[in-house]
Structure 1
């Protein structure tokens, strides 16, 4: 003859099991996101999968004794100087509130 197990004993057993195995006790089955928090992180394996980015500027900084020239960067600097010569460069930053264009604007 089998004996019936009460629901109170089952809940006590579940609480004890959660305490022993260090899992979350969730009797109402509420969505907690524990499945995603327990999952292995994907970032480190993605970093290992994709190759490291190599470009001329990084190589030139790593080995300055080779005197490597980044032609794209030198062209960019020439373009910036040409824009400044034509008066099309970046505007200067305001040093204090009085020089700001926002404070001079009428509302």
Structure 2
């Protein structure tokens, strides 16, 4: 009968040794570690393969300029930006130095 009884401390040592050999996490208190999710296969590559790659007119025009394709929507957008700049409604100029920025001048 004594030969069949396993001492709990030896069982813990055996479990720790098994984790070292097979490179698994030793978690004697069964705490939630998230190891299951960290070991799981990433979903991103599979999703990228599933959805087809969409090609837009602007991408084709950029890749093949020799075709002379004109993206009218992009041309209209650039014209609108130019019009806004002329009216003084465009994006502010970027500061070249720290002293030029309005943000730095507000700080005391």
Fold in common (TM above 0.5): yes
| Distance verdict in 2 for CA 1:45–1:106, change over 3 Å | closer
How far off its partner does 1:34 sit?
0.9
TM-score (norm 2): 0.80
Structure 2 residue runs without a partner (length 5+): none
Q: 1:35 maps to what in 2?
A: 36
Number of matched residues?
107
How far off its partner does 1:5 sit?
1.0
Deviation per residue, 1:52-105 (Å, 9 max, x gap): 231112111111111111111000011122222333222323333443334555
Q: 1:53 maps to what in 2?
A: 54
Runs of 4+ in 1 over 6 A off after TM superposition: none
Distance in structure 2 (CA, Å) of the matches to 1:67 and 1:13: 72
Q: 1:19 maps to what in 2?
A: 20
How far off its partner does 1:7 sit?
0.6
TM-score (norm 1): 0.81
What is the CA RMSD across the aligned residues, in angstroms? 2.3
Distance in structure 1 (CA, Å) of the matches to 2:96 and 2:67: 40
Distance in structure 2 (CA, Å) of the matches to 1:29 and 1:39: 19
Q: 1:94 maps to what in 2?
A: 95
